[in-house]
Amino acid sequence: MQLLARTQRSLQRASLHYGHGTDNARDEAAALVWHALGLPLAPMPARLAQPASARQLQRLEKLVQRRVQERVPVVYLTQRCWFAGLLLHVDERVLIPRSPIAELIEQRFAPWIDARRVRTIADVGTGSGCIAIACARYLPRVRVDALDISPAALAVTRINIRRHRLGKRVRALQSDHFSALGKEAYDIIVSNPPYVGRREMAGLPAEYRHEPEGALAAGVDGLDSVRVLLSQGAQRLRAGGILVVEVGNTEREVRRSFPRLPFTWLEFERGGGGVFLLTREQLET
């Protein structure tokens, strides 16, 4: 407990930016202490009460140093992350999972589509595979194509597919948006694409520089990927299918650039926003 408080104080003194799945020093301190001491994820009180060894303390010291001095996000230090209740391997080849879309997946995309009729899903820009894997877990009969342009990211996607034993239902494919596909069409296309504009990229806190630039940067106005999804989405959706895209705080730019599209902006109980939904029929208008 003392160790936790001490680590928390070290982080607080450093004026860090919290934007990678936590919003406070206490949670980050807990993640680092747990990792350095090799504590099980559901800790036994007895083990928590034991004093830490010199080696464990040294390990923790190094982790705190990297968090404070190099501004490495905690998830890259622990290399694990929860998404929609699922534990994933995450390293610097992929964006740290934090999309509010997790909540929608946990609700099996209700009330927007009847989960019983969903057979296929595409996750465009899959990164760690968090969205694709969560879709396969929450909708146990669907097949998911996990698409990403980055071979390095896809190596991580494949680690997570294997860990969750989903090799039969989740396919990781290198693809520039839909380019590597044949005639595939989907009931749901879901995407958390890059959506950071050039000016915003230049002003991001240091923590974000540890994430792959290609996972964040999307041209001058942040809409490079969104434009492709909006122009090609309808062709890739089956009748009654839906497109769900996270655009974060680029929402205003999206509304301004596509004034005729009847976006539904989703709301989330656990917070977060900037996610729109369109049906195939709406995309065709």
Q: List contacts with ligand SAM (CB under 6 A).
A: 94-95, 97, 99, 124-128, 130-131, 147-150, 153, 175-177, 192-194, 214-215, 225
> What is the spatial distance between Cα 96 and Cα 275, in angstroms, rounded to a whole number?
17
Closer residue to ligand SAM (CB): 64 or 88: 88
User: Smallest gap, in angstroms, from Cβ of residue 195 to ligand SAM?
Assistant: 7
User: Smallest gap, in angstroms, from Cβ of residue 278 to ligand SAM?
Assistant: 18
DSSP code per residue over 202-236: HT--GGGGGS-HHHHB-TTTS-HHHHHHHHHTGGG
The three-class DSSP label of residue 237 is strand
User: Smallest gap, in angstroms, from Cβ of residue 216 to ligand SAM?
Assistant: 6
Closer residue to ligand SAM (CB): 194 or 197: 194
Closer residue to ligand SAM (CB): 126 or 279: 126
Q: At what angle do helices 2-13 and 54-69 cross, to 10 degrees?
A: 20
User: Smallest gap, in angstroms, from Cβ of residue 159 to ligand SAM?
Assistant: 14
> What is the spatial distance between Cα 130 and Cα 249, in angstroms, rounded to a whole number?
21
- Cβ neighbour number for residue 74 with a 10 Å cutoff: 25
Closer residue to ligand SAM (CB): 148 or 187: 148
User: Smallest gap, in angstroms, from Cβ of residue 39 to ligand SAM?
Assistant: 26
Closer residue to ligand SAM (CB): 8 or 192: 192
Torsion of CA 51, 57, 60, 66, to 10 degrees: 160
